[in-house]
Amino acid sequence: MTTIYLKPKKEESLKRFHPWVFSGAIARVVLDANHQNAAPDEGELVSVRSAANEVLGVGHWQIGSIAVRILAFGEEHLPTCFWHERIRAAYQVRQAIGLIRPDNNTFRLIHGEGDFLPGLIVDVYADTAVIQAHSVGMHVFRNEIADAIIAEVPQVQHIYYKSDDTLPFKAPVEGDRVGWLMTNDKRPMANDLEYWSLENGLSFRIDWLRGQKTGFFVDQRENRALVERYASNKDVLNMFCYTGGFSLYALRGGAKTVDSVDVSQKAIDLVNINVARNFPKATNHTAVAADAFEYLTAQKNAGKTYDLIILDPPAFAKHRDAVKNALRGYQRINAKAIEMIRPGGILFTFSCSQAVDKEAFRLAVFSAAAQVGRKVRILHQLHQPQDHPINIYHPEGEYLKGLVLYVE
């Protein structure tokens, strides 16, 4: 196996179980005999040692500033049954936190570093798991991972692989970046009218073939439940609604009206399907395909106001260098929403940009409130749910944050 030797003292973060080795920490690379190139192959398993030749761990080699992502600390090779053991442990956590129930079969099974599997995301929707590889190393092991999921997670019978948007764009990979890995004749089709995934008793159609991410935003489950608590008798706007997660909870919570808005017509079609399935008699829901800024401006000019607004935009900053613009974007969109809230109304506002930390996000929302000149108090500070755990040694895993504001 190829061995990576670190510079002196660069082993310290690995000894504290931080799973990344940055390229600047590497003193030299000793390739094993199978190499034609002068460097390890992207996705190759490599062994990492300190300057003093201590075994630190085994992980995936990557081209870029994060050179190795450690899978097993203190090991030179991947232990036998590695994938089964990691997946079983992750499933046990989801059982222990009460996510596997007759009325809930939608959950994140593997959350990358948070489940000690850097580069791997797995979401489960009823009997289908969707695997997303963020590294070539995970792509290489996709079939082993699929086997382990089938063996360890009783509800899963089909595995869809969806890594077209997440694998490094230029990486040469063998095999398809999307497609079924494991299925049988009865495999569910995304347009199958009988195929539904349940979240807290609400049914959702999940389009893993064409949908965003793995098909659904599992990470808002707990925050949606909080919207349900506040929705009674309110006029609600769910902005950036995607397939209508927050809208369904607001309707169940007794909202007077719910308006769902998203720029994607495909998402809006799914919102309508989901509302019709859960609330076939509802006449108080409308779904509109529109740009958020344009919609808010037009509604405001028409004198429209709301009691409760949810703002859950896509990540405005995908990288650190985009943070400044992202903060301006958050300020602008939040100012527009705060302006449209009736006195005594509530705003749920989120950021899923990992690069924008919670202090910076709060400052952007503060600036929005100050700009509009409304009296605003924070009722809740929200974050990602229990099936998106943060490895305490890898604080970078924290990405979702939200504020619930009371607007006078």
Burial class (CB in 10 A: 0-12, 13-18, 19+), 262: buried
Residue 236 sits at the vertex; the CA angle it makes with 192 and 306, to the nearest 5 degrees, is 155
In this structure, what token pair is assigned to residue 179?
């497609």
Residue choice 231, 292, 333, 341 for contact with ligand SAH (CB under 6 A): 292
Residues 39, 63: Cα–Cα separation, whole Å:
10
- Min dist. Cβ of residue 57 to ligand SAH (A): 35
Assess 307 for contact with ligand SAH (CB under 6 A). Answer: no
Residues 325-384 that bind ligand SAH (CB under 6 A): none
Binding segment (CB under 6 A) for ligand SAH, from list 92-100, 188-196, 309-317, 327-335: 309-317
Per the CB < 8 A criterion, the answer to whether 71 and 117 are in contact is yes
Phi, psi of 338 (to 5 degrees): -60, -40
- Min dist. Cβ of residue 269 to ligand SAH (A): 12
Assess 57 for contact with ligand SAH (CB under 6 A). Answer: no
Residue 334 sits at the vertex; the CA angle it makes with 332 and 336, to the nearest 5 degrees, is 70
Residue closer to ligand SAH (CB basis): 264 or 367 = 264
Residue closer to ligand SAH (CB basis): 329 or 389 = 329
Which CA distances in Å does 90 have to 14, 107, 388, 399?
22, 11, 11, 20
- Min dist. Cβ of residue 405 to ligand SAH (A): 17
Which CA distances in Å does 331 have to 134, 303, 334?
30, 21, 5
Rounded to the nearest angstrom, the gap between the alpha carbon of residue 280 and the centroid of all alpha carbons in its chain is: 30
In this structure, what token pair is assigned to residue 265?
């017509």
Per the CB < 8 A criterion, the answer to whether 68 and 60 are in contact is yes
- Min dist. Cβ of residue 357 to ligand SAH (A): 20
Residue choice 54, 164, 165, 291 for contact with ligand SAH (CB under 6 A): 291
Residue 120 sits at the vertex; the CA angle it makes with 3 and 396, to the nearest 5 degrees, is 85
Binding segment (CB under 6 A) for ligand SAH, from list 27-35, 92-100, 312-320, 358-366: 312-320
Instruction: State yes or no: is 352 an active-site residue.
Output: yes
Phi, psi of 23 (to 5 degrees): -60, -30
DSSP class of residue 114? G
Assess 245 for contact with ligand SAH (CB under 6 A). Answer: yes
Single out the catalytic residue among 48, 71, 227, 352.
Answer: 352
In this structure, what token pair is assigned to residue 302?
């028409």
Residue choice 99, 227, 267, 273 for contact with ligand SAH (CB under 6 A): 267
Which CA distances in Å does 254 have to 86, 200, 205, 257?
41, 16, 22, 9
Binding segment (CB under 6 A) for ligand SAH, from list 12-20, 257-265, 335-343, 370-378: 257-265
Binding segment (CB under 6 A) for ligand SAH, from list 146-154, 274-282, 308-316, 365-373: 308-316
Per-residue mark of binding to ligand SAH, 58-97 (x: CB under 6 A): ----------------------------------------
Spell out the alpha helix ranges (H) of 186-291.
221-230, 245-252, 265-278
Assess 272 for contact with ligand SAH (CB under 6 A). Answer: no
Residue closer to ligand SAH (CB basis): 225 or 372 = 225
Residue choice 42, 113, 115, 312 for contact with ligand SAH (CB under 6 A): 312
Assess 1 for contact with ligand SAH (CB under 6 A). Answer: no
Residues 208-227 that bind ligand SAH (CB under 6 A): 212, 217, 220
- Min dist. Cβ of residue 199 to ligand SAH (A): 10
In this structure, what token pair is assigned to residue 143?
């079939």
Residues 15, 112: Cα–Cα separation, whole Å:
19
Q: Give the residue numbers annotated as catalytic, written as ranges.
A: 352
List of residues contacting ligand SAH (CB under 6 A): 212, 217, 220, 240-243, 245-246, 262-264, 267, 291-292, 312-314
